[in-house]
Amino acid sequence: MTYYPDPEVFISQERISERVAELGEEITKDYKNKLLNIIAISNGAVIFAADLIRKIRLPLHLDVVSAASYSGTESSREVELQTKLKLDISGRHVLIVDDILDTGRTISKVKEFVEKQNPADIRICMLLDKPSRRIIDLKSDYAGFDIPDKFVVGYGLDYNERYRNLPYIGLLPSELSSKV
């Protein structure tokens, strides 16, 4: 078994919890008296989405799509989208929830897929926004934290499927990022 060192805490569990509650309040206010359809992008957004929907005080539906574009610390430039929505979102309010807005490729591809389902509107909620890496001009409607160009793990974010279960967001240890 390969040893993976503990990442340095970048955003604490307490700060994440506070910010997720704030986002939940903002979304609740913006969608007052509406049925909200949330589409979470797995695997990275599963933990964030689970915490977020518990803070949204509205009726909502939840679905998940699978999208991937990373191997190690590098984006593959190609986004794999494997999905078939269970929800009928035609004419409905949709909020796409993901872990990180980096180059914009993944969320752009998911948004394009969702648009084909003819929703009433689409908004985007990201836990993290890394604007310095943006290739596609896209902004989220709700963002937890703006971060610099650092490779982060934890709270759903991974390095080769490791670290997703950390309760905080940490910086990938340098000995791992230098191996890639």
Of residues 165 and 68, more confidence is placed in 165
Given 30, 102, 129, 137, the catalytic residue: 102
Average pLDDT over residues 6-17: 96
d(CA 17, CA 48): 10
Summarised one tens digit per residue, pLDDT across range 44-62 is 999 999 999 999 999 999 9
| Residue 70 scores a pLDDT above 60 | no
Q: Taking the model in full, what pTM does it have?
A: 0.90
What is the number of other CB atoms lying within 10 angstroms of the CB of residue 65? Answer: 20
Summarised one tens digit per residue, pLDDT across range 119-171 is 999 999 999 999 999 999 999 999 999 999 999 999 999 998 899 999 999 99
pLDDT confidence band for 22 (50 / 70 / 90): very high
Is 102 in the active site? yes
The confidence score (pLDDT) of residue 84 equals 76
Across the beta sheet with 8-11, the strand order is: 8-11, 169-171, 152-153
**Domain 12-69+78-148, CATH:** 3.40.50.2020
d(CA 64, CA 135): 25
Contact yes or no for 159/129 (Cβ under 8 A): no
What token pair was written down for 99? 């872990």
- Name residue, tokens 């679905």: 63
